[in-house]
Structures are given as C-alpha cells and as structure tokens.
Amino acid sequence: MKPVVIFLCMIVPLKFANATQNRNSGGQFILNSVHFSDAKHGWAVGDGGLVLSTVDGGATWCSQNSGTTDDLESVTFVDNRHGWTVGFENGTILYTRDGGVTWQRSISGGLNGLSSVSFVDSLHGWIVGEHGVILATGDGGLNWHLQSINSEPFRSAWLMSTHFVDTQHGWASGEALLATSDGGRTWVDTQAKNVDPTNRALVLSMVTNSVYFVDVKHGWIAASSGLILIATDGGTNWRPQRNSGGDNLNSVYFKDLKRGWAVGNNGTILGTTDGGTTWVVQNSRIGPSYGTHIGLGAHLRSIFCWDNQNCWAVGSAESILSTTDGGTTWHIQH
C-alpha cells in the first residue's frame, strides 16, 4: 500500500485575471522555479525561503514551511513525495519525502551560490552553482560529493542551470557549456571548441541561463538578449536558432522534439510547434504597463509544462501564470 500524503498548508489569497485584465497587486518575493510531478501537484520556490504548493493544478496555492529564509533558486520533484530545492546563500539544499509537508536540510559542505538542481529518480541528482561547483548524490541527497570540470578555463565558471535525462547524460550552462556522458565523473567543455565558428563570438558573449534536453541528442539553451541555441548531437555542436534580440530569456522547456516554450523578462513567453524552427510570441502583455513587473508583465524566471496543453510560469512579484491550451492564452493564478 502506498503511503498517503496529507498536505497541510496556509492557503495564499489568489488573484485571477485574463489576458486583458492583468492588474495584480503582486507579492514581495521573486519566484525563481516551478515544477510539477503530475497535472495537479506542483511547487514553486523563491526568495526568502518561499515555497508554494498546489494539489489542484494551481487553482489554489498554499505556503509550505521551508525552514529557511535563504533565497531558493531551483526545485524539482520525481513524484508527489520526493523533492529537492537549492538556495543561493549558505549552500542551502533542502529535501522532502512527504510532498513538502516537512523540508529537511541536507549537508553540502558549506558551498555558497547554488543555482540549479536536477534529479532523474529518487536517488540520483546533481546541483550546479558558482565557481564551477558541481555536486552529485546517489542516495537521494543525504550525501553530496564534488565533481570537477575537465577544462581549466571553466573550472571557476558560474553554472546557472543543469539538466539530466538519465543517470549518465547531463548538461550544465551558464558562463560555460558543459556535458557529461558518464554521470558526471567527467565534465567536458563544449563551448570553446565546438560552437559553430560562424557564431562563436555571438555565443561566447551571452550568458546561457537555462538548458533542457528531451533525449540524449536534442537540447535547447535560453540565453540573454533573446538568444536560443539548439543541439542535435548531444551538445557537441550548438548553433543559434533564434537571435532576433529582445528581453533576456531565463528558462526553456520542451515536451518532445516539436513542442517547446521559453520565458524571460517583461512577461516574454515564446512557443514553438516545430522544434524551434519558428518561435511565436504567446504573451503580448496586453494592458497597461507597471513599474513593478507583476502578472502578465512579470520578469519570468521559470517554466514547466506537464503536457502540450498545461504549463506554468513563475517570476517577479510572486507571479504565477498558467495555460491550459498550450499557450494560446495565459492566465494569472497568483
């Protein structure tokens, strides 16, 4: 018999709006990451140790007690019970085995500046951060050990994002583009040598904020100034797929080889149905502008899609946006 998880939380007042009614009072914190374990159960984390959870697809969001006031940068769950989040200060690593009812601190060795966490199952996970830090665990996060970058120029790089598709194949991006095919025992630089020479200067001048692969070959990177990169060979070669300029893109997510989304500053939401050959603006930010980027005009930091229709994006002023039609329309959930 599977254990029953009971969610005890404080319901946060919600403010709903449609695409032409985007006034939202907003909150004081930035939400930096969102992840769902199924179409109903999701979590969002942000500044000040904020953790929000939902058990109804976002119709209601509840505040969970993380036990920290550190800014939380990334969250991931492998099922409705097992999840992890990391914080930028104090080497914060938290884990839960009961869906966030309780969060416990994991020991990381006092490393600061942790940016992103990725797990492929309840045991195997990786964390990246400042100064080239890469941590790995094989016991669900009870113990972490350092992995090293096999390229001297990038051993002190700020790594902002990591993603694994299985226990062997993973990638990291930020001030470097890195890949591993042996679970992180060796991390190799794919930036200096293998970026298309025609576009090398362009790519090297950008900060690559988010990396996501759908399999061991096909992946995308979201970067500053509206740049999106694509790889079809596991990351050996990267080439710009979108370079039309614009707001910084902070997060990219694909469900399969065709359907993908990217989000960024000033409410930017892009969608593709052809693997990124064409990217279409999904959120035109209709309505008055606001000095404190809230609602549909928020600086969006993270996007997650459960399927080709249901997606959530989070960002500044504790904004949570959602769509149930693949991004044709976006609504404010929080």
Class of domain 10-332: mainly beta
Burial of 276 (0-12, 13-18, 19+ CB in 10 A): buried
Residues 6+ apart with CB under 8 A from 217: 231, 232, 233, 234
Is 334 strand, coil or helix?
coil
Distance CA 36, CA 60 (A): 14
Instruction: Provide the residue ranges of all domains of the chain, joining segments of one domain with +.
Output: 10-332
Distance CA 325, CA 45 (A): 24
Q: What angle do CA 29, 32, 35 make, to 5 degrees?
A: 125
Secondary structure of 254-316 in HEC code, one letter for each residue: ECCCCCEEEEEHHHCEEEECCCCCCCEECCCCCCCCCCCCCHHHCCEEEEEECCCCCEEEEEH
Tokens of 52: 């929000």
Distance CA 299, CA 213 (A): 24
Output the tens digit of pLDDT for each of the chain's 334 residues: 444 344 445 544 433 333 322 323 457 899 999 999 999 999 999 999 999 999 999 999 999 999 999 999 999 999 999 999 999 888 899 999 999 999 999 976 667 789 999 999 999 999 999 988 999 999 999 999 999 877 666 677 889 999 999 999 999 999 888 999 999 999 988 765 545 555 555 555 567 999 999 999 999 999 988 999 999 999 988 888 987 677 899 999 999 999 999 999 999 999 999 999 999 999 756 444 444 577 788 899 999 999 999 999 999 999 999 999 999 999 999 8
Tokens of 327: 């991004």
Side by side, the strands of the sheet bearing 249-254 are 249-254, 260-264, 269-272, 280-281
Determine the residue type at 200.
R
Residue 184, CA distances (Å) to 62, 83, 84, 91, 180 in order: 36, 21, 19, 20, 5
HSE-CB for 160 with a 13 A CA cutoff = 23
Distance CA 99, CA 195 (A): 41
Model's pTM, two decimal places?
Answer: 0.88
Distance CA 69, CA 46 (A): 10
Nearest CA to 298 among 281, 282, 314? 314
Going by the DSSP 8-state scheme, the letter that residue 43 receives in this structure is E
